Amino acid sequence: MLNNNISKDELRRRMGGCWLGKAVGGTLGMPFEGGDGPLDLTFYEPVPETMLPNDDLDLQVLWACVLDKQKEVRVDRDLFAEAWLTQVEFPWDEYGVAIRNLKMGLKSPQSGSYDNWFVHGMGAAIRTEIWACLAPGDPVRAAAYAYEDACVDHDGEGIWAAMFFAALQSLAFVESDTDELIDQALDVLPESSTVREAVVQTRVWWRQNSDWRRVRDKILKAYGHENFTDVTMNIAFTILGWLDGQGDFSRAICTATNCGKDTDCTAATVGALMGIIDPDCIDERWLKPIGKSLVISKEITGIDDHPPSLELFTELVLDLYKRLDRHAPVGLDSRAVVEKDVPPIEVDLAFSKGHKQNMGGSNCPEFLLSRTHGLPGTIGRLSEAEFEGDVAHIRYRFKLEKARRVRIMCNTHQACAAWVDKQLLFESSGGAMSPSFHRAPKDQWADVELAGGDHELVIALARPALGGDVEWVVGIADASTHQWLECFLRSGQAIEC
């Protein structure tokens, strides 16, 4: 549905509104990221002196710079995968997992789907505005571009959410009616999508009771998740903020933030959407504190020559739009996707009786009656029926190519303990699942100096409640960068990392 009547000046104006709204919303929500809410904000708190750097915008600037260096501009997942490996140092959540998977030689979309606890995270849904700007008024193509981007580090709802937002924002260049925008954007999603259901339900709840706090409660009851970056929950909050704003930019971004959870992302997305629909809706009071300089996180490298301001970034995106000339993504060709066979991780598995509440201590479990067990990756699961005692003991083997300080994590709801080379690292009564090295529960990871060579990691896990499962994620990272090391992942044997 490409609208050829959008003038260059109008495109520039709406693209500019997009990036201003993105910067404002991200800066408003950033200080409250991860908080449960509800909040009661009406303005920045604290009032900033410049825009805050945010991966929501950082990665889109990087994609634009990468595309700009192409002789013939094409949107292609392999191009983004290379940029993740060479120009992104974010270790967080799905970002860190995707970088690890790409280092292992996995290609997209397997890099996003393999052994990734965060497949349904917000990481791709927050970087869709560039695809809308490169396909204004063409939601199907915008969604296809978003797929090429999202499949590098997501799967399932994490991809669907990105496609939905790209389509919604693309339509916003040519349509302003809220219901029409939502209905047409939903067309890019399958009927089975939970994101689709959440968007539809949020609109129904809003129509029934236009009280954002009550609708927020319904969203949490239906789609709440312990991972504050869960995409279904946060997309619902984004839509709620937009509906509650009713064209009022200030109210919309504040409502999105006040819902809590991934606040910088929800507010930034609402801000960008409203900036496309009506750039004049962004009150000057929001722009004055942050200015229009483009501030990029230090973890994005190799683009020191990026546009220094939001205005110049808009000009770059407008130029890319002209150069791209409505070409479909490379990925829409009938190229075969060949997934790499990743052998299971071979561990020793044993069970013991008793000591369910106090599994730590100085004595590392012995594996006198153990058996070899294959795990599909760093994410492990055992059902209650598989336990042959009160505690499961799992032994991993890995090799370090040199002495280094590493962070070892075992994140699980269950009581657990961990030893490396028979030395106790930590014991925990259990915690929330957030298996990322920068935000796992503090008693489920430890930093330790290890020599080069072979090592053993032993994990003890309490038996789950009757009929339940125990899920855990074990990982090793560089202690300073928090980037995953591929220890015990590339094959069933110990590998160097």
Q: What pLDDT, in 10s, does the model give residues 299-319?
A: 999 999 999 999 999 999 999
CATH: 2.60.120.200, 1.10.3720.10, 1.10.4080.10, 1.20.120.160. Which one for 8-332?
1.10.4080.10
| pLDDT for 2 | 44
Confidence of residue 9 (pLDDT cuts 50, 70, 90): very high
The whole-angstrom separation of Cα 108 and Cα 153 is 8
Of residues 364 and 50, more confidence is placed in 50
Domain ranges for the chain, please list them: 8-332, 345-478
Does position 88 have pLDDT exceeding 70, yes or no? yes
Does position 18 have pLDDT exceeding 80, yes or no? yes
Structure tokens, 172: 């916003």
The whole-angstrom separation of Cα 97 and Cα 116 is 6
Average pLDDT for 22-30: 98
pTM of the model: 0.95
Of residues 434 and 495, more confidence is placed in 434
| Identical topology for domains 8-332 and 345-478 | no
Does position 468 have pLDDT exceeding 60, yes or no? yes
Average pLDDT for 190-194: 97
Does position 39 have pLDDT exceeding 70, yes or no? yes
| pLDDT for 180 | 98
Q: Which of 296, 299, 243, 238 is nearest to 272 (CA)?
A: 238
Mean pLDDT of the chain: 94
Homologous superfamily (CATH) of 345-478 is Galactose-binding domain-like (2.60.120.260)
Q: Which of 263, 488, 295 is nearest to 394 (CA)?
A: 488
Structure tokens, 59: 């990665």
Confidence of residue 360 (pLDDT cuts 50, 70, 90): low
Does position 327 have pLDDT exceeding 90, yes or no? no
Confidence of residue 329 (pLDDT cuts 50, 70, 90): confident
What is the secondary structure of 385-446 as a DSSP string?
Answer: GG-SSSEEEEEEEEEESS-EEEEEEEEESS-EEEEETTEEEEEES------STTTS-GGGEE
Confidence of residue 353 (pLDDT cuts 50, 70, 90): confident
Of residues 240 and 355, more confidence is placed in 240
| pLDDT for 403 | 96
Does position 356 have pLDDT exceeding 70, yes or no? no
Strand order of the β-sheet with 416-420 is: 371-375, 345-352, 391-400, 453-462, 416-420, 423-428
- SS3 of residue 338 by DSSP: coil
Structure tokens, 88: 């992104």
The whole-angstrom separation of Cα 249 and Cα 270 is 8
**Whole-angstrom Cα Rg for the chain:** 24
203-212, 229-238, 247-256, 368-377: which range is least confident on average? 368-377
